[in-house]
Amino acid sequence: MNRYEENKIKIDKDGKRVYKTTYYPQIPIGNADTFITTKFGTRIDNLANQYYGDSSLWWIIANANGFKGKVVFKPGDIIRIPSDIQDILEKFKELNR
């Protein structure tokens, strides 16, 4: 699921495309969440692909760990991988209607 899939494109008075703000749900820690220790070369999109089967869901891992902007992992960083992504995706859709 592309995180911009739910965004509506509007045209302003000058004919330019305008996107509305994207809101992300809070992701509480769950009992089934996975915690991993990063290695050299670990990438957030590869983690999303490994755990969710979809690299475009990297934003879930970023949001759950409080990452903003460019993310560079150092070997030994501990990253939380949320488990209940269906609930997260439903909340995301609700917030961005």
Q: By residue range, what is the domain housing residue 65? A: 9-95
Please tell me the predicted confidence (pLDDT) of residue 95: 92
Does some domain include residue 33?
Answer: yes
Does some domain include residue 18?
Answer: yes
**How many other C-beta atoms can be found within 10 angstroms of the C-beta atom of residue 81?**
19
Please tell me the predicted confidence (pLDDT) of residue 4: 58
CATH assignment of the domain containing 59: 3.10.350
Please tell me the predicted confidence (pLDDT) of residue 22: 86
The tens-digit pLDDT sequence of the chain (97 residues) is: 565 565 567 778 888 887 778 889 999 999 999 999 999 999 999 999 999 999 999 999 999 999 988 788 999 999 999 998 999 999 999 998 8
Does some domain include residue 22?
Answer: yes
The one-character DSSP state at 3 is T
**How many other C-beta atoms can be found within 10 angstroms of the C-beta atom of residue 25?**
17
Cβ(2)–Cβ(55) under 8 Å? no
